[in-house]
Structure 1
Amino acid sequence: MSKPLLSALVAFSLVALPVAARAGDDAKKADKAEKSQCTISVKKGDLVAKGKTLIVEGQDAVRDALALDGDVVVRASATVNKVTAVRGKVTVEAGARVSGDVSALGGDVHIKKGATVAGKVSAIGGRVRADEGATIAGEKTELNINVNGEELVTKFLGGLDMGKDTQCEVRVTEE
């Protein structure tokens, strides 16, 4: 199994296991007043967005970019280490550079002509599209599981409760 696929499956498992455990907890199901919670751990210099499009501009000093329930757009002249969208798509525009990996879980990745990705590009529950003239140094990986015409990863992710009432705590670490 390739490293990007293994990494994506590990990330998917990290999301799936807590949800499966929570789903089996009848006490929490009965208490509808309790709000959903999530924790996002990021490093200093990371950008995180939930429920909206995260745009990385050329002048931004960004380490990693992560969007939950939203898209990530890396604009011309921007340089980012890693880019990830969960239930969203990633677009790396012409003149932008990603020095690490690009991944979408439940969405597509589009690398435009003139954009550079030094690492791998993965779409789990989506597609990878690279324009002619786009540079991708690593592997391109897509994983789609269709059952009766439905994409399974996208359907599973759509069942996760990360709606507007979800309380997300962002924890910033030094390294």
Structure 2
Amino acid sequence: MRSSLLPTLALAATLTFPAFAADDAAKKPNDIKVVCATTSKDGSRAVQGTDLVIEAGDKVTDAVAVDGNVIIRKGARVDDAVAIRGRVIVEAGARVTGDAVSMGGEVRIQNGARVDGSAIALGGKLTVDKDGVIGGDRVSLSFEIGGKDLLRGFIEEALEEETGCHIIDEDDEDKGEDKDV
């Protein structure tokens, strides 16, 4: 089985992911609505500020949601699923061939769902229904004091400053220019 550096790599990639496109769905403090989403040539999808739903028949390399959930529907297949400040929900009949990871949220494996790799919930809980299958490790790490999860708080603080989207215009990409939204 492969070594899993996925949580660390997902965090680093998400914070530095430059190819987000803006939409009108999530609220920022100044009442500007912004949602970021991208699909890469290798079949990866990433969103910020909304849920990423992988529908039946879809095959996705990496599914990443920041401030949203990754929801994998029946008949969908994902190599790795990562939610930062959100949940990874693998519905009945869905399959994750690699790892399902949530940082600051829950990983939920429903009856009839399958995760071939590890299921990891950092700062949240791992919920596996009776007939849910996990081929690798099951990790749920949280630390609560007075009803507050300290690990989740740490993750939220670490990510608090990065709330905007970065848009790279393909024409400006060679010049190294990007624009914050």
Q: State whether residues 10 and 82 of structure 2, in contact with CA within 8 Å, keep that contact through their aligned partners in structure 1.
A: no
Q: State whether residues 92 and 111 of structure 2, in contact with CA within 8 Å, keep that contact through their aligned partners in structure 1.
A: yes
Look up the SS of the partner of 2:59 in the other structure: coil
Deviations 1:106-154 (A, max 9, x none): 0001000000111000000000000011111111001112244321222
Alignment of 1:25-174 (within 5 A): 44-159=42-157, 160-163=160-163, 166-169=164-167
What percentage of residue pairs aligned between the two structures are identical?
A: 34
- What is the number of equivalent residue pairs in this alignment? 144
Distance 2:131 2:54 in 1: 21
Deviations 1:48-86 (A, max 9, x none): 111000000112231110001100100000011000000
Deviations 1:91-113 (A, max 9, x none): 00000011000000000010000
TM-score (normalised: structure 2)? 0.69
* Runs of 4+ with >3 A deviation: 10-15
**Amino acid aligned to 2:105:** G
Q: Answer 1 or 2: which has greater helix percent.
A: 1
**Amino acid aligned to 1:122:** I
Residue in 1 aligned with 2:21?
Answer: none
Q: For structure 1, which runs of at least 5 residues remain unmatched after alignment?
A: 19-39, 171-175
**Amino acid aligned to 1:114:** G
**Amino acid aligned to 2:114:** T
Distance 1:145 1:168 in 2: 33
Residue in 1 aligned with 2:172?
Answer: none
- Mark the CA change 1:56 to 1:135 in structure 2 (over 3 Å): closer, same or farther: same
Distance 1:96 1:104 in 2: 17
Bigger relative contact order, structure 1 or 2 (CA pairs below 8 A, ≥6 apart): 1
Look up the SS of the partner of 1:156 in the other structure: helix
TM-score (normalised: structure 1)? 0.71
- Mark the CA change 1:76 to 1:13 in structure 2 (over 3 Å): closer, same or farther: closer
**Amino acid aligned to 1:52:** T
Distance 1:61 1:148 in 2: 42
Distance 2:41 2:149 in 1: 32
Distance 2:89 2:137 in 1: 17
Distance 2:10 2:92 in 1: 29
* Cα distance, 1:13 vs structure 2: 7.9
Q: For structure 2, which runs of at least 5 residues remain unmatched after alignment?
A: 17-37, 169-181
Distance 1:151 1:85 in 2: 17
